[in-house]
Structure 1
Amino acid sequence: MKHRKLIRTVAILAVVIGAGALFTWYQFFREEPQPQWITGDPEMRFKYGSIGGERDAGIPYWIFYVMPRMFPEKIPGPNGFASFGFAWEQGQELPIGFVKKTIGFERVGNNCAICHTASYRRSDDANPTFVTAGPGHAFNLEAMFRFLVDCAKDPRFNSDNLMHEIDLVTDLSWIDSAIYRFVLIPITRKRLLERESQFQWIYRHDFPEWGRGRDDAMNLTKYFLVGSPMDDSIGPTDMPSIWNLKKYDREGTTLNWAGDSHDEYSVIIDSALGLLGAAPKSNDEFLQEVQWLQDYLSAKAPPKYPFAIDEVRAASGKAVFDRECARCHASDLTGARMELRGVDTDPERLWTWKKAHAVAANNKVKEFDIDRPGLVEEDLIGYNPPFLDGIWLRAPYLHNGSVPTLRDLLKPPADRPALFWRGYDVYDPTNVGFVSAADTRAQEVGTQHDVADRSNGNGGHLFGTTLPEADKDLLVEYLKTL
């Protein structure tokens, strides 16, 4: 009798444990595939497809949804999430680069498209055209980082307040409501607060704002991937275009603004690890996604200039280009590291990264059992002369985005705009760049760039500045064709 009772007790206990394990798996860990409209279309996959960042760095969907409603004063504008300058397609629930995926519960993460989708408009009342793999020149990444941390630091970020806002917009089941109240909200707040120490340098008042369309990529790598102690360096640079990656498939070519990475495979891995915020759950799945991204971006053609081109003048402009520019931008030097001396653009980006940082970053990735050529284990000497494919859509210019248009770049530094506004997407086909001057809509929606601020200098790159105006006009016409 006692034996039967023991068996019955063990059986009941096993059922309870099994049910509990099943409940835990279902509510917190079950992974559902994204819908076919995302996974079955390469453009949609790049814009909205998961690379795995939601697992550890994702935010529960309903917390993400109500944060702008709860904390509008922490957003840099009156239009909710749109004030961060996201590329946002009409009819889509989330901006480009935001991933919604169910892993136990619905989570929101990011993928590469958040920083690498460009947009332009022909006029202020026109709809934007979005270009995947382009530079996200309107996105204010620094403001988004601050928003997430500042919300978590606010005493209003608690279960009572958040659940009140969530209940106003959706009807959660009692189980999901309890999970949000007692598990997800406290954990989300804890994880966001943990990021505060990693973001300390973006709160320094003696550092200039990155502004729309820029990030401080190597410091992000130092502090997030490597965990290096913070120093006094700052080097915000324009978010680059990543289309047509196959152009880097030749010996001697390095990537990133300062040639600090060996190849495109390594760059994609390191960027994706930054979005994951942790080691991949499965290296095989992660590297398959990296390979898909490399294949997609290698085949992605640069966008054609969407306005009229005077083909006769452009042909004459090619002769000017071949004479004045080709020795750096259409030769074997393109994509190969060049000493700063002689180019003389702002040096601060170089000072953010040393050989020791590269060694530490490569060792960290090795700890994840991921093999890649990695970061160049040398001190930086200068900036890569960039390829110019799709150069018309890559304004502002120079590595730190300190010159608003191509025509401005052909002026001596003293004549280039000393103050302009970044992040407005109405295109200026006359000067080849974006509208950015004071007393325009750009001043209302953009972020100010002052070349007198540290790391914002617009000096150097004197090439072409002494050309006759007629030759400059021909050269600009040719550059539209690239």
Structure 2
Amino acid sequence: MSYASRKTWFSVIAIVVIVVGIVGAIIGYQRGFREYPQPDWVTATPEMRFKYGSIGAEHDAGVPYWIFYVLPRIFPEKLTQDGKVIPGGYAALGVPWEQGQELPVGFTKKTIGFPRVANNCAVCHTTSYRVSSEANPVLVVGGPAHTTNVEGFFRYLIDCAKDPRFNADILMAEINRVTELDLIDKLLYRFLIIPITKKRLLEREAQFAWIYRPDFPDWGRGRDDAMNLTKYFMIRAPMDDTFGPTDMPSLWNLKKYVWERGHRMNYAGDSHDAYSVIMDSALGLLGAAPASKEDFVGQVKWLHGYLSELPSPKYPFPIDPARADSGKLLFDANCAACHASELTGRPLPLADVGTDRGRLDSWNKGAAIKANQVVKEMGLERRGLVEEDLQGYIVPFLDGIWLKAPYLHNGSVPTLRDLLEPATARPTVFWRGYDLYDPIKVGFVSDTPEAQRIGTRLDTGSKGGGNQGHEFGSQLSAAEKEALVEYLKTL
């Protein structure tokens, strides 16, 4: 072959290699990294955006959609609660699920190369309740997710990844039963997506080590161990023996918190303002620095604006006006000094309220300093966490108090009526996470056979679960307590 011919062939080969490389790069970008907007229905209303809109968690914390889809089909025995296998797929975790929706509330779907599932703020802040056993659930955005077993979801993903059946052969066989992927996606799932997902989930096991400790009780439905999550995920602190479970808080009407008036956020006043809390919570869902700082800050600002103006829900049952008026007088005499005064929204020393101190012990000044530094290094600005040791719990605002059950910061008292009893007379064991409402005691039904079947058991003698303290109003007569509860329904 002549020199000219060889040169021509080399040129052809080089062109072919370049073209193949370019095509491969385009395919790799399109199927692995290109970000597509969510469908228009997701952002059609602020409520839908809050429930299903992405905050960017799909980049680092997202689970590939088809893996997420088939896990309950392959590993149904790993969906457990109180040591029992619960049927029903992801619904077994107590997540609110609207009829006709592909995913539960708080679960987002977004295509970044391939469809991925992640979470947004609604997973912990959407309440479900029923007015009767025959009624459909009513969903209230911004309310505490008292039915959702967040710890169960964390464990489930890790437990599946640890199982030897989490491999390409078994997962692809199940995926092929429910959908027809094209050749490129089949290759990507088999050789990249499934192995990488398994690796990423197993990496989380070390950070979640404390939720597997036998000396720590389960959080149960509607609770999390928020500050330990921050310690072990954001600042990568070594595991200690603290355990501070808390109820999911409500997020409505956040404009009532005014930093300039000394108000603080979170149960123990460990954050300065609502904007900081929203940003830090969103970072917790992302599990890493945001892929786009500009987009992330935009999402935080939108959430802050939306939740600042979101009204508290109105009590859905009839209220006795005369009894409520009597209750207002009792509230003014027994409760207003804390819950309708300059003290509201500010920390009250633990000695004054006497409730379980586990949440206080799980956080400290040093952790706050480190967490603020991590966020600063991401190039994000907010007032942030309070860099001082904590002394007590925030005196809560009572708007929408009827839907914040169970009560106290750790959710250890099932109803408002129970909260007005001395600690020694309150239930010591009850079941959390059943959504049938009790308009008499004002809270959720927590001790019937159905509540026991669906809910998670809370023993108030367990670590972090004490129901002591806050005995204000316990000296009132039964009739006075009923009147006070009637007034609280109106708030």
State if a TM-score over 0.5 links the two structures.
Answer: yes
* 2:208 corresponds to which of 199, 216, 219: 199
Cα deviations by residue, 1:170-205 (Å, 9 ceiling, x for unpaired): 111122111111111101100000000011111111
CA distance in 2, matches of 1:125, 1:161: 40
The answer for unaligned runs of 5 or more in structure 2 is 81-85
Per-residue deviation, residues 404-449 of structure 1 (Å, max 9, x unmatched): 0000000000100000000000000000000001x43100010000
Q: Secondary structure at the match of 2:431?
A: strand
Amino acid of the residue matched to residue 226 of structure 1? Answer: I
- The structural deviation recorded for 1:13 is 3.2
Offset of residue 15 of structure 1: 2.0
In the superposition, the TM-score normalised over structure 2's length comes to 0.96
Query: Which range moves more in the overlay, 235-244 or 15-24?
Result: 15-24
Q: How many Å separate the matches in 1 of 2:309 and 2:148?
A: 25
User: What pairs with 1:157-168 in structure 2 (closer than 5 Å)?
Assistant: 157-168=166-177
Q: Which runs of 5+ in 1 are unaligned?
A: none
Match of 1:71 in 2: 75
Select 1:444's aligned residue among 444, 453, 462: 453
How far does the alpha carbon of each residue in 1:383-424 deviate from its partner, in whole angstroms, 9 at most, with x for none? Answer: 001111100000000000000000000000010000000000
Is contact 2:97–2:105 with CA below 8 Å preserved after alignment? yes
Q: Supply the AA of the counterpart residue of 1:84.
A: L
Which residue of the partner structure matches residue 488 of structure 2?
479
**1-structure distance, mates of 2:26, 2:326:** 71
Q: Which amino acid aligns with 2:289?
A: A
**1:166 aligned counterpart, secondary structure:** helix
Q: Does 1:40 align with 2:44?
A: yes
**1:244 and 1:250 mapped to 2: Cα distance?**
14
Indicate the residue corresponding to 1:320 in structure 2.
330
Residue 208 of structure 2 aligns to a residue whose secondary structure is helix
**Cα shift at 1:118:** 0.2
Cα distance in 2 for residues equivalent to 1:291 and 1:10: 50
Q: Show the counterpart of 1:460.
A: 469
Tell me whether 1:404 sits opposite 2:404 in the alignment: no
Tell me the CA shift for residue 5 of structure 1. Answer: 5.6
1:243 aligns to what SS in structure 2? coil
Structure 1 residue aligned with 2:289: 279
1:468 Cα deviation from its structure 2 partner = 1.6
* 1:47-96 per-position Cα deviation (integer Å, ceiling 9, x unaligned): 00000000111011110001001111110211111110001001111000
Post-superposition offset of 1:40: 2.2
Using the TM superposition, give the Cα deviation of residue 477 of structure 1 relative to its aligned residue in structure 2, in angstroms: 0.5
Superposition pairs for residues 323-334 of structure 1, below 5 Å?
Answer: 323-334=333-344
Superposed displacement of residue 374, structure 1: 0.4
Q: 2:21 aligns with which of 17, 24, 33?
A: 17
| Equivalent position amino acid for 2:293 in 1 | N
C-alpha distance in 2 between matches for 1:390 and 1:443: 26
Structure 1 CA distance for aligned equivalents of residues 146 and 67 of structure 2: 27
The TM-score with structure 1 as length reference comes to 0.98
Deviation at 1:470? 1.8
Deviates more, 1:78-87 or 1:14-23: 14-23
Q: CA deviation at 1:4?
A: 5.7
Structure 1 residue corresponding to 2:65, chosen from 61, 73, 76: 61
2:440 — aligned with what?
Answer: 430
- Other-structure match for 1:122: 131
1:248-267 maps to which residues of 2 (within 5 A)? 248-251=257-260, 252-267=262-277
Bigger shift: residues 398-407 or 277-286: 277-286
The one-letter code matched in structure 2 to 1:360 is K
Deviation string, structure 1 residues 123-157 (Cα, Å, up to 9, x no partner):
22210000000000000011111111000000111
Deviation, 1:10, is 4.1
**Does the aligned pair in 1 maintain the 2:259–2:272 contact within 8 Å?**
no
| TM superposition shift of 1:316 | 1.7
Task: Tell me the equivalent position of 1:359.
Answer: 369
CA distance in 2, matches of 1:3, 1:178: 36
CA distance in 2, matches of 1:327, 1:247: 18
The alignment partner of 2:430 has SS state of strand
- Partners of 2:227 and 2:10 in 1: CA distance: 62
Task: Look up the equivalent residue of 2:217 and give its one-letter code.
Answer: P
Question: How far apart, in 2, do the equivalents of 1:18 and 1:312 lie?
Answer: 77
**Which residue of the partner structure matches residue 352 of structure 2?**
342
Tell me if 1:50 matches 2:60: no
Partner deviation per Cα, 1:97-138 (whole Å, 9 max, x = no partner): 000111100100110000000010012221000000000000
Q: Match of 1:312, as an amino acid?
A: A
For the 8 Å contact 2:259–2:273, the answer to whether it is kept is no
* Percent of pairs with identical residues: 63
Taking the aligned partners of 1:351 and 1:261, their CA distance within structure 2 comes to 16
Pick aligned residue for 2:122 from 105, 113, 131:
113
Name the counterpart of 2:83: none
Distance, in Å, in 1 between the alignment partners of 2:57 and 2:430 is 35
What is the CA–CA distance in structure 2 between the aligned matches of 1:113 and 1:436, rounded to whole Å? 24
Per-residue CA deviation, residues 336-363 of structure 1 (Å, 9 max, x unaligned), is 1111002100001100001000000000
1:386 aligns with 2:390: no
Distance, in Å, in 2 between the alignment partners of 1:7 and 1:83 is 61
Q: Does 1:153 align with 2:157?
A: no
Instruction: Please tell me whether the aligned partners of residues 268 and 393 of structure 2 are also in contact (alpha carbons under 8 angstroms).
Output: yes
Q: State the alpha-carbon separation in 2 of the partners of residues 188 and 250 from structure 1.
A: 41
Shift of 1:11: 3.5
Task: Give the match's secondary structure for 1:54.
Answer: coil
* CA distance in 2: counterparts of 1:48 and 1:392, whole angstroms: 26
Cα shift at 1:32: 1.0
Q: Is the 8 A contact 2:273 2:383 kept in 1?
A: yes
Question: Which residue does the alignment assign to 1:214?
Answer: 223
Separation in 2 of the partners of 1:43 and 1:462? 37
Pick aligned residue for 2:248 from 239, 242, 245? 239
Question: 1:168: how far off?
Answer: 1.0
Compute the RMSD of aligned alpha carbons.
1.1
- CA separation in 1, counterparts of 2:277 and 2:14? 53
Q: What's the counterpart of residue 179 of structure 1? A: 188
